[in-house]
Amino acid sequence: MAAHVLCVTPADALIDVPRSIRVERLAPGQPVTVAASTRRSGVQWRSEASFEAGADGVVDTARDAPVSGSYSGASGMGLVWSQAPVGSKSRELFNQPVAEPLVTEITASAGGAQARATLVQRLAADGVTRRELREDGLVGTLYLPPGPGPHPAVMVLNGSGGGINEPRAALYASRGFAALALAYFKAPGLSDYISNTPLEYFQKGLQWIRREVRPLHDFVAVSGQSRGGELVLLLGATFARQVSAVVAYVPSAFVHSGQNACDPKIGREGPTWLLNGKPLAHLWENNRTASWAPFDEGPEPHRHERAIRTALQDPGALARARIPVEAIEGPVMLLSGTDDGSWPSSVFSRMVRDKLAEVRHPHDVQWLDFENAGHAILFPCVPTTQLVYAHPVSGKVSTGGGNPADNARADEQSWAGVLQFLRDAVAARGASQPS
């Protein structure tokens, strides 16, 4: 029998494209070990799994479960999502600049021979352009799809880690959306902390997109995760006519205090958001039941959501801090995990969904709630193994919850759902406008 071969199809594509990984020309039942290695932002990430060939002499990762290794169960991209950093605690999944592709070297070892193949993942499609924004107090990066447009637009907002979410913006642009990744802290020229962030800053960002991009059907959605998920619901409710749709990843139904991203001088129970120069009431404010002890003193790995749940026992505080989502004037999509270790995003999303149902929200409302998934819902075909980490601002160590397999499933299904939701929202807005 000829030496075995390793096939990756397609070998080079956008990061959200699943690949076929097959080892062929094996003897039925022959053992084979497949390893995958990727350099991400200078750190090597690796996975390995051992298989037995099927009766057809093939190992197909989408069909065949490994007998041992970095993951279990059949998974076409298991060799990617099960990768872990070698000798490092890195959580950096992408290269800088983000247009630099991720190159994964795959080897298949069997019978003393080794076959090799390369898998290339890209965040930016051919023709996507990048422009830095450093004007009028705004800090961010604009990614534009290929072609003259006009294109529908999305403003992309990070969570409590701050910074500029260029990977998601680049992928949005690769799928046809003008995407502004707007920073609001922990970026050049901005505060290092989330405390006392004025909502008018984001209104200015929405205005900038409309002025510079001139989006299709005047469509500008907002997309954010975690504190960014809280924020996009708040923006939709506050600047309703300027927000065409809301995509809220692992959001809150309430305004929260600074928490782990706070300015230490203000403290984690200090305000996060300002409107007209005044702090918005938040959940921890005058809350009779709230306690940080379940997080600070609870068993390892620490779960921030245990503390948040104590704050949900005071009805008065809930009423004062609730985001008035019924004021949103466009479609809303919610994404959550039932094992969210950062805060109970599943509970929060249900509250938002129920309130919108109660008021008979006239636009599309979708909720994807992923069983056993945690806080880190990203997009497909990225490692999901780094569950415990130090918060990038406070340094407090905790878990985002979930497990690698269920988090990978949430990554895959959430992104497909978001793209369809946004395309439907753009179409609906176009149909409602005069020709």
Residues in contact with 106: Cβ distance below 8 Å, sequence separation at least 6, in sequence order: 6, 8, 21, 34, 35, 36, 37, 79, 116, 117, 118, 119
Alpha-carbon gap, residue 229 to 337, rounded angstroms: 13
Cα-Cα-Cα-Cα dihedral of 129, 135, 165, 355, to 10°? -120
Q: Is 196 left (phi over 0), alpha (psi -120 to 50) or beta?
A: left
Active-site hit among 16, 314, 339, 340: 340
Alpha-carbon gap, residue 346 to 323, rounded angstroms: 16
81, 373 Cβ separation under 8 angstroms = no
Active site residue 364: no
Q: Which of 251, 198, 247 is nearest to 227 (CA)?
A: 251
143, 170 Cβ separation under 8 angstroms = yes
Q: Which two tokens stand for residue 251?
A: 């959001």
Q: Which of 32, 102, 91, 104 is nearest to 64 (CA)?
A: 32
What angle (nearest 5°) sits at the alpha carbon of residue 367, between those of residues 428 and 273?
90
H-run or E-run covering 426:
helix 404-432
Active-site hit among 16, 375, 398, 414: 375
Q: Which two tokens stand for residue 108?
A: 């298949």
Quick one: three-class SS letters along 327-367? HCCCCEEEEEECCECCCCHHHHHHHHHHHHHHCCCCCCEEE
Q: Which of 216, 255, 214, 213 is nearest to 232 (CA)?
A: 255
Q: Which of 21, 45, 20, 46 is nearest to 32 (CA)?
A: 21
137, 208 Cβ separation under 8 angstroms = no
Q: Which two tokens stand for residue 56?
A: 């057809």
Active-site hit among 70, 160, 226, 346: 226
Pairing of strands 43-52, 84-85: antiparallel
C-alpha distances out from residue 64 to 23, 54, 78, 198, Å = 11, 8, 11, 52
Active site residue 226: yes
Active site residue 41: no
Catalytic annotation, residues: 226, 340, 375
